[in-house]
Copies of this chain bind each other. A is one copy, B any other.
Amino acid sequence: MARPLILVTNDDGITAPGIRHLISFAKEIGDVVVVAPDSPQSGMGHAITIDSTLHIEKLTIDKNAPDQSEYSCSGTPADCVKIALQEILDRKPDLCISGINHGSNASINVIYSGTMSAAIEAGIEGIPAIGFSLCDFSWDADFHPAKTHIQQIIKEALHHGIPKGVVLNVNIPKTQNIKGIKVARQAKGNWKEKFDKRTSPMGKDYYWLTGVFDLQDKGEDTDLWAIEHDYIAVVPTQFDLTAHHAIQQINSWELHA
- Residues of A whose CB lies within 8 Å of any CB of B are 40, 42-51, 53-56, 78-79, 82-83, 85-87, 108, 110-112, 117, 120, 124-125, 148-149, 151-153, 156, 160, 162-163, 165-166, 168-169, 180-181, 183-186, 188, 190, 193-195, 197-198, 204-209, 234-247, 249-257
Contacts and interface: CB of A to CB of B under 8 A. Distances in A.
Contact of A45 (B46, B194, B206, B237): B46
Contact of A241 (B45, B160, B241, B244): B241
A82 B237 contact: no
Nearest to A155: B254
A108 B82 contact: no
A80 to B, nearest CB: 12
Nearest to A253: B156
A55 B203 CA distance: 12
Contacts of A204: 55
A83 B253 contact: no
B54 A43 contact: no
Nearest to A73: B207
Contact of A180 (B45, B197, B255): B255
A34 to B, nearest CB: 18
Contacts of A206: 53-55
Main SS of the interface on chain A? mixed
A185 B47 contact: no
Contact of A207 (B87, B110, B168): B87
A247 to B, nearest CB: 5
B243 A207 contact: no
A181 B194 CA distance: 39
- The residue among A45, A152, A234 with the most chain B CB atoms within 10 A of its own CB is A45
Contacts of A168: 250
Contacts of A82: 193, 195, 209
A112 B55 contact: no
Given A45-B45, A250-B168, A124 B108 contact: yes
6 contacts: A42-B51, A48-B209, A86-B194, A148-B257, A168-B250, A186-B241
Contacts of A111: 46, 120, 124, 239, 241
Contacts of A195: 54, 82-83, 86-87
